[in-house]
Amino acid sequence: MGFASCCCQAPASPSIWHSSPLLGTDWCRVCTKILPAFCKLSNEFKNLTFVYADIDECPETTQSIRYTPTFHFYRDGERVDEMLGAGEERLHDRLWLHS
């Protein structure tokens, strides 16, 4: 499905949206370290939509985020999982679980 650099609005068809957004910010060193792996994994898991939302640029959709990076996993428009923190292998395993 691809990768979007910032998504400040919900997709038009949430009933078919299977996604893995990364919620972070450019001043977070852990976020900037995991972002290249997140982009690489978007090529491996083509059935998922990968979204990076900067919590400073999209405050209306990220106001409940208390830890960066945070990964949310959605299926059929409903959040089904959350992962706090980074780790490429851990992220890969979670993506595999939800793909």
| Phi/psi of residue 95, nearest 5 degrees | -65, -45
Of these residues, 6, 7, 8, 31, which one is catalytic?
A: 31
* 6 given a catalytic annotation: no
Of these residues, 7, 28, 39, 58, which one is catalytic?
A: 28
Tokens of 81: 């999982």
* Of the candidates 41, 59, 37, 57, the residue with the CA atom closest to the CA atom of residue 49: 41
* 31 given a catalytic annotation: yes
Active site residues: 28, 31
